[in-house]
Amino acid sequence: MAKQKNEGDSVVAQEYLQAIYALSADSKPIKSITLSKWMKSSPSTVHATLSRLQRDKYVKINKKKEIQLTKSGLEKAEALTRRHRLVEAFLCDKLGIPWYEVHNHAHILEHGLTSLVEEKLAEFLGYPETCPHGTPILGGRNSLPDEMRYLHDFDVGDVVEIIVINEILEESIELMKFLQDKSIKPGEKHQIVDKTEVTRTIVLESNGATATLTFDIAERIGAIKID
């Protein structure tokens, strides 16, 4: 009799594990309602999938109903995320797919890669350190600069270089297109020209053009200060 596959081997479960991994970068508790919004799924569907992931020991849910990856769940999510970011790099750097679109295309293609193809892809790309959005690719540079902070932590007058766009923001093509149009991408430099607590907005300026971001967005864009 064929051995039954774990739930973690299914495409849906893989997407859930990646979602939990991405949301954990916010350092905020992850609950079913959060996951339901991210996955655009009904609470009952989320509950059923989480139950199977718990059964296979990929996730655990504490007394506060907070979702956490187990050790095996984290290992699985990290492996899936590495594959996703390699595909993003391939699509953007080699096929010329627009920077703001590659995230969604990668989600479709990544599930068809075998381990051998994944490693050959990494070799073909020259083992890139980051995906096009600046996030470290596991197996390459596994940490961001120690001096990196998020945009909402800087002061008016600071000049910064964008380092990374949090994967949570990548879910919105419209937002990513806005960031591209405003050159808010890794390697680009901007000055903080306004920051308003009342409206929770921050204004960046680069080459005479300005862009206004909410704090919710600014706290998910990493940068370093340029002296």
* Secondary structure (DSSP) of 131-145: -TTSPBPTTS--S--
Whether residue 199 sits in one domain with residue 171 = yes
Whether residue 98 sits in one domain with residue 40 = no
Domain boundary among 26, 54, 69: 69
Q: Is residue 134 part of a domain?
A: no
Q: How far is CA 64 from its chain centroid? A: 25
Whether residue 111 sits in one domain with residue 57 = no
Whether residue 116 sits in one domain with residue 173 = no
Q: Is residue 108 part of a domain?
A: yes
Residue-wise pLDDT tens digits, 164-203: 999 999 999 999 999 999 999 999 999 999 999 999 999 9
Q: What is the pTM of this model?
A: 0.87
Q: Provide the pLDDT for residue 142.
A: 54
Q: Is residue 48 part of a domain?
A: yes
Query: Can you give the residue range of the structural domain that contains 199?
Result: 149-226
Whether residue 77 sits in one domain with residue 57 = no
Q: Provide the pLDDT for residue 207.
A: 92
Q: Provide the pLDDT for residue 112.
A: 87
Q: Provide the pLDDT for residue 141.
A: 47
Q: Is residue 201 part of a domain?
A: yes
Domain boundary among 51, 69, 87: 69
Q: Provide the pLDDT for residue 139.
A: 58
Residue 107: CATH number of its domain: 1.10.60.10
Residue 26: CATH number of its domain: 1.10.10.10
Q: Is residue 103 part of a domain?
A: yes
Q: What is the pLDDT along the chain (227 residues), one digit of tens a residue?
A: 344 455 456 889 999 999 999 998 887 889 999 999 988 899 999 999 999 999 999 999 999 999 999 999 999 999 999 999 999 999 999 999 999 999 999 989 998 899 999 999 999 999 999 999 999 887 544 578 889 999 999 999 999 999 999 999 999 999 999 999 999 999 999 999 999 999 999 999 999 999 999 999 999 999 999 97
Measured distance CA(226)–CA(193) in Å, rounded: 15
Whether residue 203 sits in one domain with residue 160 = yes
Whether residue 114 sits in one domain with residue 173 = no
Q: Is residue 87 part of a domain?
A: yes
Q: Provide the pLDDT for residue 2.
A: 40
Domain boundary among 53, 69, 85: 69
The secondary structure element, H or E, covering residue 159 is strand 159-165
Q: Provide the pLDDT for residue 4.
A: 46
Q: Is residue 142 part of a domain?
A: no
Distance set, CA 112 to CA 39, 41, 118, 126 (Å): 20, 23, 10, 21
Query: What is the total count of domains within the chain?
Result: 3
Pick from 207, 217, 182, 212: which is nearest to 194 by CA?
212
Q: Is residue 137 part of a domain?
A: no
Whether residue 158 sits in one domain with residue 217 = yes
